[in-house]
Amino acid sequence: MAYIGKSIESGTFSVLDTSGNTYNGSNVTFSLGTQVGSAAQLLVSHDGVLQKPGTDYTLATGGTQITFTTAPASGASIFIVEISGAVGGTITPSDTSVTADKLNTALLTGQTDIGANIADADLFLVDDGAGGTLRKTAASRLKTYAGFSVSSITGATELAAQPAATDEIVLSDAGTLKRLDIKHIQNTPAVMTQKGSNQTVATGTATLITFDVEDLDTDGTFASNRFTPAVAGYYFCFGLLAFDELSDGKGAYSILYKNGSHYLSSANQVGANTSLCVTEVSATIYLDGDDYVELYGQHNHGSDRTAIGNSSTECFFGAFRIAGA
Amino acid sequence: MDNLYYKVKLYLEDNSKTESEFDSNILLQNDADGNGDYIKTWSVSGVAKPTDSQLNALATNATKELNNAVIRNTRKNSYGSIGDQLDLLYKDMLAGKGDSTGEWFKSIKAVKDANAKEDA
């Protein structure tokens, strides 16, 4: 006869083999021929009368024996049915029946760490087709899917603004993937300054030109009329000086100083009827972490002259790092 | 130090040297730090770097040198262009006034008189 109601999903109903037991009115304990977990797991019939677990019988010897309260008489008719699986037996879930809730996180956390980089041949489980079939895939296949590609760029949100100095990009450094602050490939530190007021310069005297108007100072590296970038590299440095009312044949110099000493200069001489003398200088200079650059001016007019700082033709000084040099 | 250039110039002349030493052997500098002009480098052959007292002893004459330099520049700017002066001379000579009666001479003298140099 088939089951009434839902059929069992695991385990068995089986009649235990008790043929080796001898009932004689004095023996109370008999082998079950298997191991069960509790007395209630057994249906025991004694001469056609169903026995009550815990009252009429108990288990003994770890569930491998049954002990009757009253010793069965000689010739007693006893059969025992085991309900469900035996203790320690293997239960095989039916296909696709194990759900996520049945799994413990220790399934992951309890495993030994791989302790090394993932190799191409290492395997992962994937749901092939999203709700489809669970399949294995090699790490080599994951690389082709999850690796950096053009779509990683085209699919990303556009910054649409000048990146901050600490924004980062990813690049291959001789084959090793690394992140890089964008500032390392920007032309910074950079400064641009102007002279906001006139300055008297004595004849024949190299004089530090002061610059009190900062149009640009990306990293706060211009102070006390000197540019101290604090980042080693090559810098393009430039300056223009305008001296007022130099006599015919007189000249002026723009002089770049590095660490307090003459580095490079440029001269210009005033011709007839041109009293304004403008002289420019520019140079590419290597500066290390504490090197600094200043702009000095000099003329040979014969008496004090003015380095102009309050008109449209006024002195300026600037510098910026040459990225990549 | 005030008027350092001319003090050093006079010091050089006192030691049989010339202003040409400024071309490569002397550097006067001012670091805009409130300490004024000073001698940054000195490598004049056979002449020691002057002391402050030596330079200060030349202050009076150095001031005259400076004032005269200013006067020279004022005169230079007041004379007018070379072209204009040649034009005046040409006209004076045509008029037979190639001497101190000519207009060019008068204009130059007027500038010089108005901007007299100090005696060195």
SS3 at position B106: helix
Per the structure block, which two tokens stand in for A144?
């082709």
Cβ separation A202–B4 shorter than 8 A: yes
What confidence score (pLDDT) does residue A86 get?
A: 46
Beta bridge partners of A43: A81
Cβ separation B76–A248 shorter than 8 A: yes
CA B23 to chain centre: 16
Per the structure block, which two tokens stand in for A59?
């288990």
Phi, psi of A269 (to 5 degrees): -115, 145
- Give the confidence band of B120 by pLDDT, cuts at 50, 70, 90: low
- Residue A267 to residue A264: CA distance in whole angstroms: 10
Which is it for the CA torsion B55, B60, B61, B65, positive or negative? positive
- What is chain A's Cα-based Rg? 47
DSSP string, B4-71: HHHHHHHHHHHTT--TTHHHHTEEEEE-SSSS--EEEEE--TT-PPPPHHHHHTTHHHHHHHHHHHHH
Q: Contact, A281 vs A294, CB < 8 A?
A: no
CA separation, residue A324 to residues A164, A175, A184, A185 (Å): 19, 19, 9, 7
Cβ separation A208–B31 shorter than 8 A: yes
- Residue A173 to residue A179: CA distance in whole angstroms: 9
Could you report the per-residue pLDDT of B18-47, keeping only the tens digit for each? 999 999 999 999 999 999 999 999 999 999
Q: Contact, A282 vs A318, CB < 8 A?
A: no
What confidence score (pLDDT) does residue B1 get?
A: 66
Per the structure block, which two tokens stand in for A316?
């300026």
Per the structure block, which two tokens stand in for A137?
């895939």
Cβ separation A204–B40 shorter than 8 A: no
- Residue A142 to residue A155: CA distance in whole angstroms: 19
Could you report the per-residue pLDDT of B38-75, keeping only the tens digit for each? 999 999 999 999 999 999 999 999 999 999 988 988 89
Looking from the CA of A158 toward its CB, the CA atoms found within 13 Å total 3
Q: Which residues of A touch B77 (CB under 8 A)?
A: 247, 275
Cα A200–Cα A205–Cα A208 angle in degrees, nearest 5? 60
SS3 at position B99: coil
Cβ separation A202–B3 shorter than 8 A: yes
Cβ separation B70–A303 shorter than 8 A: yes
Phi, psi of B55 (to 5 degrees): -70, -45
Residues 6+ apart with CB under 8 A from A225: A208, A209, A210, A211, A294, B32
- Residue B50 to residue B14: CA distance in whole angstroms: 11
Cβ separation B28–A206 shorter than 8 A: yes
Q: Nearest residue on chain A to B77, judged by CA atoms?
A: A247
Burial class (CB in 10 A: 0-12, 13-18, 19+), A72: buried
pTM of the model: 0.65
Q: Which of A205, A247, A248 sits opposite B4 (nearest CB)?
A: A205
Average pLDDT of every residue of chain B: 93
Shortest Cα–Cα distance, A151 to chain B (Å): 57
For A291-300, b where at least 16 C-beta lie within 10 A, e where not — what string?
Answer: bbbbbbbbbb
Residues 6+ apart with CB under 8 A from A153: none
3-state secondary structure chain A: CCCCCCCCCCCCEEECCCCCCCCCCCCCEEECCCCCCCHHHEEEEECCEECCECCCEEEEHHHCEEEECCCCCCCCCEEEEEECCCCCCCCCCCCCCCCHHHCCCHHHHCCCCCCCCCCCCCEEEEEECCCCEEEEEEHHHHHHHHCCCHHHHHCCCCCCCCCCCCCEEEEEECCEEEEEEHHHHCCCCEEEEECCCCEEECCCEEEECCCCEEEEECCCCEECCEECCCCCEEEEEEEEEEEECCCCCCEEEEEEEECCEEEEEEEEECCCCCCCEEEEEEEEEEECCCCCEEEEEEECCCCCEEECCCCCCCCEEEEEECCCC
- Residue A266 to residue A277: CA distance in whole angstroms: 12
- Tens-digit pLDDT string for chain A (325 aa): 555 666 555 567 788 888 888 899 999 999 998 888 889 889 999 999 999 999 999 999 888 999 999 999 988 899 999 886 544 556 677 777 788 888 888 888 888 998 988 888 999 888 887 777 888 888 888 777 766 777 778 888 999 998 998 999 988 899 888 999 998 899 999 999 999 999 999 999 999 999 999 999 999 999 999 999 999 999 999 999 999 888 878 899 999 999 999 999 999 988 766 678 899 999 999 999 899 999 999 999 999 999 999 777 689 999 999 998 8
Query: Omega of the bond prior to A189 within 30 degrees of 0, cis?
Result: yes
Looking from the CA of A27 toward its CB, the CA atoms found within 13 Å total 13
What confidence score (pLDDT) does residue A90 get?
A: 61
Q: Which residues of B touch A210 (CB under 8 A)?
A: 32
Shortest Cα–Cα distance, B78 to chain A (Å): 11
Q: Which of A206, A208, A247 sits opposite B27 (nearest CB)?
A: A206
**Rounded-to-10 torsion of CA A43, A44, A48, A52:** -90
What confidence score (pLDDT) does residue A274 get?
A: 65
Q: Name the residue type at position A257.
A: Y
